[in-house]
Amino acid sequence: MTDIRDYKELKQKAENIRVKRDRATGQLESSMEQLDTEFGCKTLKDARAELKKRMKEADEAESAYLETARHFEEKWGAIDEDE
């Protein structure tokens, strides 16, 4: 009896692994389609390059904003948002 029980347990474990693999594959395909649709990235390498570019642009925009805010405060003083 133990052999049959062991077989059934292994069969169920194999099925669970297959289901998880299929789910992960589907999620990967969906993510890759989304990267292509939204950002034109066909590969993960393209996506990493796009992310790096966008992070640099965000850093530059933040620096420009902070510099503009500093100049504004020097000229007009700090603004109290509660007023």
**What local confidence, expressed as pLDDT, does residue 2 receive?**
78
| Structural domain boundaries in the chain | 12-75
The total number of residues shown for the chain amounts to: 83
* Structure token pair of residue 28: 């990967």
Only one residue has tokens 């570019």, namely: 53
pLDDT at 42 (0 to 100) = 96
Longest pairwise C-alpha distance within the chain: 87
* Tens-digit pLDDT profile for residues 5-44: 999 999 999 999 999 999 999 999 999 999 999 999 999 9
Q: What percent of the chain has pLDDT over 70?
A: 95
